[in-house]
Each structure stands twice: as structure tokens, then as C-alpha cells.
């Protein structure tokens, strides 16, 4: 076991202490407030397209359509074929990405997600689908998804190309900022 010297312990404690921003709130609480606001944006956008459900709810809905729905859903989540975000230690999935008759991932969603995987985590992919996109005439990608149209996939490719040009992955945008998706 490694023991810290007093000066090392003090440095570690200082590094772990939440920093204060200019408004006197901690960076951790500001980040939490930003995530809550982003989640509200996603909820509003996805509500028009089936909303969001927990992984347990999705697996239950899949039971009538396929054998071993938990295994299929887990495979899609692990392979990142579908968007699954963590919210308060609960796995949440936007329903727009599933075909409501077969409960398979919609191909146009999976293709767009595949374009964004290398540059965004699932949270930011979900946020990308929920926020205004200039490549789609200002529509959020979730509102522009139409089978066989490909416009959302092209917008995802444009976002991925922008991500490739950056030296580091894009940061989480501030609420109301949309320039990161162009």
C-alpha cells in the first residue's frame, strides 16, 4: 500500500475540491444544472416521437416481438447501435430510434449514430438529435428522420467531419448553443 506524504495529501485534496465559478456556485453544480437543462431539451424533442423509456421498459415492450429481448437490447447498447443515456443511475433510451412494429433499431438512426460514435458520447449524440441543425434547415435531426431520405445521416457525417478536424472531441455545449452541431 502506498502512503501519501502530507503535502501530497494536501495537493490531492485541493485538486478534488470543487472550483467556484464567477457566480459563486461550484463547477460541479453548474455542470449538473447544465445537464438537467440539456435533459429537458431532449425530453421535449423526443416527446414528439415516442418519448424516452428505461431499458427495462424497452425490454418489456420488445417481449411480444422477439425472443430474448434483454440480450438483444444489451447487444445494441454495448455496440452503440442505439443511444442509451445514463440519468440518475438509470439507462434511458429515446424511443424514436426503434421501429414500433418490429422493435428493431431504425436503420436511418443507427447509420447516423454510427457516424457520430468516434466524436460524441451517447449523451451528446442524444443531444445532437434533439437540437437545431443547420444542415437540416434548423430542424432537430429527430424531427427530420424519414425512412429512405438520408438527410439526417448526411448531417451526422458533416458533424463527424467537423469532429475529425478538431484536435480533441467536442465539449458539451452550453444550453442554447447550437454551433457545435454544424
Question: 3-state DSSP call for residue 86?
Answer: strand
What integer pLDDT is reported at residue 28 of this predicted model? 66
Distance CA 21, CA 30 (A): 8
What confidence tier does 9 reach under pLDDT thresholds 50, 70, 90?
A: very low
| pTM higher than the cut 0.95 | no
Check residues 23 and 154 and name the one with the higher pLDDT: 154
In this predicted structure, what is the pLDDT of residue 4? 43
Cα gap 175→41, rounded to integer Å:
9
pLDDT in tens, 115-155: 999 989 999 999 999 999 999 999 999 999 876 677 898 89
Which pLDDT score is estimated for 67? Answer: 86
Residues near 58 by beta carbon (within 8 Å), at least 6 away in sequence:
73, 93, 95, 98, 103
Amino acid at each position: 500500500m502506498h502512503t501519501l506524504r502530507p503535502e501530497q495529501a494536501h495537493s490531492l485534496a485541493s485538486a478534488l475540491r470543487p472550483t467556484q465559478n464567477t457566480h459563486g456556485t461550484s463547477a460541479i453544480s453548474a455542470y449538473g444544472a447544465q445537464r438537467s437543462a440539456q435533459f429537458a431539451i431532449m425530453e421535449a424533442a423526443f416527446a414528439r416521437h415516442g418519448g424516452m423509456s428505461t431499458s427495462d421498459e424497452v425490454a418489456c415492450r420488445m417481449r411480444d416481438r422477439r425472443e430474448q429481448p434483454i440480450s438483444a437490447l444489451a447487444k445494441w447498447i454495448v455496440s452503440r447501435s442505439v443511444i442509451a443515456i445514463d440519468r440518475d443511475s438509470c439507462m434511458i433510451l429515446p424511443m424514436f430510434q426503434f421501429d414500433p412494429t418490429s422493435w428493431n433499431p431504425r436503420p436511418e438512426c443507427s447509420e447516423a449514430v454510427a457516424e457520430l460514435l468516434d466524436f460524441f458520447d451517447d449523451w451528446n449524440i442524444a443531444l445532437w438529435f434533439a437540437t437545431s441543425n443547420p444542415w437540416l434547415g434548423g430542424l432537430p435531426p429527430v424531427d427530420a428522420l424519414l425512412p429512405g431520405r438520408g438527410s439526417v445521416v448526411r448531417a451526422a457525417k458533416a458533424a463527424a467531419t467537423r469532429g475529425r478536424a478538431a484536435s480533441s472531441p467536442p465539449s458539451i455545449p452550453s444550453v442554447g448553443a447550437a454551433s457545435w452541431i454544424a
